[in-house]
Amino acid sequence: MGTKVDAYIARDPNGICRIMVKRAKFKHWFELGQHGPTDAAFEQALAAGTVRWNPAIEDKTKLFRKI
């Protein structure tokens, strides 16, 4: 079994979507393509179908959220 990986899609103020990835045993999130070990773990988990995706798209343009 491979590394557990969490991921979500983030939209920045310019409207660009980025994939943010975190390995389960670490607390830091990295943008896909910016951290080699996390990228490799993401690719392995994606191939195995074990990536845990957050279903919501994080929109950094919204300052206030309806709770």
Q: Does residue 65 sit within a domain?
A: no
- Across the range 10-37, mean pLDDT stands at 90
Greatest mean pLDDT among 5-14, 42-51, 57-66 lies in: 42-51
d(CA 66, CA 64): 7
Residue 61 has pLDDT above 70, yes or no: no
Please give the residue range of the domain that contains residue 22. Answer: 5-59
Burial class of residue 66, CB neighbours in 10 A (0-12, 13-18, 19+): exposed
Question: pLDDT category, 2, cuts 50, 70, 90?
Answer: low
Q: Does residue 47 sit within a domain?
A: yes
Mind listing the pLDDT tens digit for each residue in 23-36?
988 899 999 999 99
pTM: 0.78
Q: Does residue 67 sit within a domain?
A: no
**What is the total count of domains within the chain?**
1
